[in-house]
Amino acid sequence: MRVATLGRMLLPALSVLLVSCEGGTSSDLGDQRVFVITVTPAQPIIAVGTTIQLQAVAQDVHGADVSGAAFVWSSYNELKATVSSTGLVTGVEVGDAIVDARIVGVAVTAGSANVRVDPAAAATSAENR
């Protein structure tokens, strides 16, 4: 009975480990290898209801742009800011959110932007209408 329980606990952990190791340190995009992903602007400040377009660039170990990279965008605080599949960020509520750009199958750290949805930006936007 204990062996069966131990097996049920270890099998999922072993699966995660194998999947994690499969990616290595980077992945091929044609003959180019991604070393770093950079997102700009890195610290945008927007108002509630406004948007900003983020850009992501993948680079190799020599700093050359890697062509053909398709990014997957995600927000780690969608209550404050959401992001579309193209990197368009929308301010939802005053606060902070981290927005990441990743490449499926590439095991390098994602590029990210620290988005601030700011009440002062909201007041400035309202004055300019």
Residue 11 included in any domain: no
Residue 71 included in any domain: yes
Average pLDDT over residues 57-69: 91
Please report the pLDDT score of residue 30 as a whole number.
55
What is the CB neighbour count within 10 angstroms for residue 73? Answer: 20
Q: How many domains does the chain have?
A: 1
> Residue 15 to residues 77, 107, 121: CA-CA distances in angstroms?
28, 17, 46
Domain with 100 in it: 26-127
Average pLDDT over residues 52-59: 96
pTM of the model: 0.70
Residue 2 included in any domain: no
Residue 19 included in any domain: no
Average pLDDT over residues 51-71: 93
